[in-house]
Chain A
Amino acid sequence: MTVLDDNTLHGDPGIEAHPERHTASIPAGATSGTPMQRSEVKTIFEKGSPGRRAFSCPKLDVPECDPAILLPDAYRRKEPARLPEVSEPELVRHYVNLSKRNFDLDSGFYPLGSCTMKHNPRLHERVAALPGHSRLHPLQTPKRAQGALELMYNLERHLGEVAGLPHVALQPSAGSHGELLGVLLTRAYHEDRGETRKKVLTPDTAHGTNPATVTMAGYEVVKVGTNADGGVDIEDLRAKATTDVACLMLTNPNTLGVFDPNIEEIAHIVHEVGATLYYDGANLNAVMGISRPGDMGFDIVHYNLHKSFTQPHGGGGPGSGPIAVSDRIAPYLTVPVIEKQDDGSFTLEHDPAEGRPGSKSVGRLRGFQGNYGVFVRSYAYICSLGAEGLKDASETAVLNANYLLAKLRQDGVGEALPLAFGDLCMHEFVLSGAPMKKDLGIRTLDLAKRLLDHGFHPPTVYFPLLVDEAFLIEPTETETKETLDAFAAAIAAILKEAKVDPAIAQNAPYTTPVRRLDEAGAAKHPVIRQPL
């Protein structure tokens, strides 16, 4: 294998990701340690020393009591729990060093398609940290949590305005959770009409959560094909839209970054057989303030507050996936419903009066009201941007995606990584690495891994499934032209390098804390418990 010097290893560093490197080589014979980023990491349990503490409790100022008197034998440990015994500096360094091994949006460009990794404004963190928000107890009586209820009530109205649908439920805590509620509402709607339906349609470009949701909700998934322009295959939809179909789940623009111009006809076909039309809001960032799913004919919409509305994400949560529904679906919404009374106060209605949203509720989806901290950040975002600002954000997201797409055509990349569908895109676009694999001998996965050495988080790979060697890029509105240029230049450099020696990309990454992972091994033999 080729021996790579430091500069080749690192490629052209992404503009934010790496500090300037020292070029001088280490003198011969100098002692060398393992770079901190590469050193083997111990778990917190393997560090420290028996009896060491990060905190000393103050002296007891109440009489000591024998636990044996308070707790029966069966409920007491025979030996102390094995807790980490470390000093405070050890504790701090452990977690700070772990965090340094992460790639995150705050350290570099993160164009993960269909995930909308937009910047999380710091203002929102300040607002969410205000004690009135952060210290509010979920069991506080509504009377003493009027501000929080008002914020949630207002957020519901603002979100409803974005979707073009009047009734919003904030409870779902993830996009998939919102999807599940949407499909359960569809079931409740049909059952209330005495109808039993068995199938839900999803396009073959759908997010994987769509068919998973359908299965969890007890329906059978039926796939609908994609036409040559990347939209729904209308003839296939017409053939599969029977009176046995409960719902069509659709993302518009879809995961190919294509806005389906036939949406009106699609809505008509679906409604004609009495099914509901569900909008997966994962790609809402392309259309906020420009077009509204409700106006397109959708009955149910879910939002991802952790995508379009700036809640930080990527580390497993917390997320939030509220849904908006039309009048005919409103009676089945989750409870409690926040209602505004004539005197301007807000109440939590667990059993709303007949005819009001939630009067035939499917019940609760989770405890309490949802992930409140997310609501605060999203509300702050909507208030600080306003209607015009949201529209501007979407327009810039689409502009940035099209700029990057054009850039990736210019740089001699186009032949290796052509656009899979269409000509222009919305807020994201899918390239196919099939020619690259054939002509240069590197796969999309190799390109993705090599990008890490350039200081960029790779885009989504191998999704959507219908594109061979898919590479799904979503730059978002918050990235600068310089960043987009540097990303395009990195891809061009990797392809150029692969022409000479494909092994460089095939063996990447070189500069990350760990190298190529054994994904098959991880799936087949997961190590889920650290032996102590």
Chain B
Amino acid sequence: MADASYPEHLLYHPDHDWAAIDGDVATFGITWFAQDALGEVVFFDPPAVGTQVTKDEPYAEVESVKAVSDVIAPLSGEIVEVNEALGEDPEAINNDSYGAGWMVKVRLSDSSQTGVLLDSATYQGTLS
């Protein structure tokens, strides 16, 4: 498990999710804080491609040695890709939460929603 980090180029949701925006498609994942609180992840249950996700609502589940937890969508849209590799290798969520541990890619339905997400410094402020 790497040290705590919160990359500057990402946007953050207070429920410990990140979004990387690329045009009208965003990549979602969970933050270092979230994976640290969960403990070792043993299973990732992804949604199907084509599913509509709603900002602030759960879109997937992660199971750790402690509990099963919902993953909250930071933005609304339609899932265009899921990280299939996590099926075999869910520990990437712990080891590389901003890289190989990405969860889904979503075509955004309302890009103005990004305005209410937090930058790295503001998100880190919510953690203490």
Chain A residues proximal to chain B, CB less than 8 Å: 208, 445, 462-463, 465, 468, 519-520, 523-524
Contacts and interface: CB of A to CB of B under 8 A. Distances in A.
Contacts of A462: 39, 66-67
Nearest to A523: B42
14 contacts: A208-B67, A462-B67, A463-B67, A465-B69, A468-B37, A519-B40, A519-B65, A520-B40, A520-B42, A520-B91, A523-B43, A523-B65, A524-B42, A524-B43
A471 to B, nearest CB: 13
Nearest to B68: A208
Interface of B: 37, 39-43, 63, 65-67, 69, 90-91
B65 A465 contact: no
Contacts of B41: 520
Contacts of B43: 523-524
A217 B90 CA distance: 30
With a 10 A CB-CB cut-off, give which of B40, B41, B65, B69 has the most chain A CB atoms. B65
A334 to B, nearest CB: 30
A519 B39 CA distance: 10
A289 to B, nearest CB: 34
Nearest to A525: B42
A463 B64 CA distance: 13
Nearest to A211: B68
A445 B40 CA distance: 13
The 4 A-B residue pairs with the shortest CB-CB distance, nearest first, are: A520-B40, A523-B42, A519-B65, A462-B66
Contacts of B37: 468
A519 B40 CA distance: 8
Contacts of A445: 39
A520 B65 contact: yes
B30 to A, nearest CB: 16
A462, A463, A519, A524 interface centre (most CB from chain B within 10 Å): A524
Contacts of A523: 42-43, 63, 65
Contacts of A463: 67
A520 B69 CA distance: 16
Contacts of B66: 462
A283 to B, nearest CB: 20
A113 to B, nearest CB: 15
Given A463-B67, A519-B40, A519-B65, 20 more contacts: A208-B67, A445-B39, A462-B39, A462-B66, A462-B67, A465-B67, A465-B69, A468-B37, A520-B40, A520-B41, A520-B42, A520-B65, A520-B91, A523-B42, A523-B43, A523-B63, A523-B65, A524-B42, A524-B43, A524-B90
B3 to A, nearest CB: 13
A465 B69 CA distance: 9
Contacts of B40: 519-520
A462 B41 CA distance: 15
Contacts of B91: 520
Nearest to B63: A523
B56 to A, nearest CB: 13
Contacts of A524: 42-43, 90
A523 B44 CA distance: 12
B28 to A, nearest CB: 21
A446 to B, nearest CB: 12
A135 B104 CA distance: 59
Contacts of B63: 523
Contacts of A519: 40, 65
A465 B38 CA distance: 10
Contacts of B39: 445, 462
A199 to B, nearest CB: 15
A317 B35 CA distance: 34
B1 to A, nearest CB: 12
Nearest to B66: A462
A520 B66 CA distance: 10
Nearest to B40: A520
Most buried by B among A445, A462, A463, A465: A462
A463 B39 CA distance: 14
B103 to A, nearest CB: 18
Contacts of A468: 37
B108 to A, nearest CB: 27
A460 to B, nearest CB: 11
A462 B36 CA distance: 13
The listed residue with most B CB atoms (<10 A of its CB), out of A208, A468, A520, is A520
A462 B39 CA distance: 10
A462 B69 CA distance: 13
A523 B66 CA distance: 11
B53 to A, nearest CB: 18
Contacts of B90: 524
A424 B42 CA distance: 37
A445 B64 CA distance: 14
Contacts of B67: 208, 462-463, 465
B58 to A, nearest CB: 10
Contacts of A520: 40-42, 65, 91
Q: Which of B42, B67, B90 has the most CB of A within 10 A?
A: B42
A524 B67 CA distance: 14
Contacts of A208: 67
A445 B90 CA distance: 21
A149 B110 CA distance: 66
A523 B62 CA distance: 13
A10 B63 CA distance: 34
A465 B42 CA distance: 18
Nearest to A438: B128
A481 to B, nearest CB: 33
B124 to A, nearest CB: 14
A506 B66 CA distance: 17
Nearest to B91: A520
A524 B90 CA distance: 10
Nearest to A517: B65
